[in-house]
Amino acid sequence: MLKTNQTKVVIQSVQGSIQHPLSGYPYRISHEGIPYVLPATGGITYNVKLGDPAFGWAGDHIEPGVTMRNSNDKENAALHLLSCIGNEARVISGDAKGAKGFVTGGHGGVEHVLVYFKQADMEMMSVGDKILIKACGQGLELSDHSEVKVMNIDPDLLLKIGITEQGSKIRVPVAATAPAHLMGSGIGAPSAYKGDYDIMTGDKEEVKKYGLDQLKFGDLVLLQDCDNSFGRGFLKGAVSIGVVVHSDCVKMGHGPGITTIMTCKKAGVIDGVNDENANIAKYLNI
C-alpha cells in the first residue's frame, strides 16, 4: 500500500456559491471559422454527468454537474487552489441544504470548481445556493517516491485508485494516454496546482488514433512528455496523470480539460496501466 503523509495534510473549509452561466459576445468561433451559439460554462448542468462521454455535446467547455465560485476574487483563488478532486462538498443554504457531493475538478480561466451531486439534489438547487467544501489534499506526498509531485486530489481518493508499486516505479490505472503535442490551452501556466489544461481536438484523426474520442468525464489520463511540476510544459520522458473535468470544445487549441493529480520529471517512474474503467466515478462508487 502506498505510504503518504496523509495524517499531516490539513483539512480546511472553503466556500462558494453556485455560479450563474455568463455570456458576452454570443458567438464561439470554431477552429474551422464557423460561428456557433452554444451553452458553455457555469450553472447547474442537469443532463451532463460524471461518467458521461466528454464528446458529442451541443456545447462548449461544458462543466458536468454543479459549477461553483466565490464572488470575492481572493477567496475564490483559495477555493480553487485548495479544493481537491474527491473532497466532500455540502450544500449549506436553500432547498437542498444538507445535500452532500464531492469535487470533480477545477476549470482554469473561468476559475470554477466543479462538484458532483445526485440528480434529486440538483433538482432542489438554485443559482446562488452556498456550498462548503472540506478542502484536503494540497501538501499530500508519497513517502517512498519523493520525485513524484501529488496535487489536486483527496488523500482517500488517491488510495482508492489502485496505484501499485514496482520497485522505484508506481503503476497508475489510466483510461487513455495523450501525447504532448495534443496538449493545448493552459500550456505555460505558472502552476498546475489548480485549474486544468486542454487536449486539443482540432485534428480528429489524431485524437481517434489515441482513443481520446472515447474519453468520459472523470477518466484518468496519462500525459506523455508533460511536466506539470512548476507549471505546464513539455519535457521528454516526464509523465503527468490527470482527470477529465470538462467537455470537448469548438474553439481552436481547446478540448476536454485535464486537472493534474500527479507529475514526475524523471522518466520511468510513473507507469500507466490501461484500464477503460479508470474513472473517479468508479472509485467513489457512483
pLDDT digits over 134-155, tens only? 999 999 999 999 999 999 999 9
Residue 66: in which H helix or E strand, if any?
strand 65-69
Residue 24 has pLDDT above 90, yes or no: no
Distance in angstroms (rounded) separating the CA atoms of residues 215 and 186? 19
pLDDT of residue 25: 86
Domain termination site, one of 82, 105, 135: 135
Distance in angstroms (rounded) separating the CA atoms of residues 42 and 125? 14
Q: Do residues 180 and 80 both lie within one domain?
A: no
Distance in angstroms (rounded) separating the CA atoms of residues 27 and 46? 23
- Nearest Cα to Cα of residue 226 among 199, 255, 254: 199
pLDDT of residue 23: 87
Total number of domains in the chain: 2
Q: Do residues 121 and 188 both lie within one domain?
A: no
Task: Give 219-245 pLDDT, tens digit per residue.
Answer: 999 999 999 999 999 999 999 999 999
Residue 1 has pLDDT above 90, yes or no: no
Helices (H), 68-216: 73-82, 119-124, 155-160, 204-209
pTM, whole model, 2 decimals? 0.97
Q: Do residues 267 and 197 both lie within one domain?
A: yes
**Mean pLDDT, the chain, as a whole number?**
97
Task: Give 149-185 pLDDT, tens digit per residue.
Answer: 999 999 999 999 999 999 899 999 999 999 999 999 9
The pLDDT confidence band at residue 250, using thresholds 50, 70 and 90, is very high
Domain termination site, one of 101, 135, 169: 135
Helix (H, G, I), strand (E, B) or coil at 120: helix
Domain assignment of residue 106, given as a range: 10-135
Specify whether the CB–CB gap between 39 and 61 falls below 8 A: no
Residue 50 phi, psi (nearest 5):
-55, 130
Q: Do residues 81 and 173 both lie within one domain?
A: no
Specify whether the CB–CB gap between 18 and 68 falls below 8 A: yes
Specify whether the CB–CB gap between 64 and 105 falls below 8 A: no
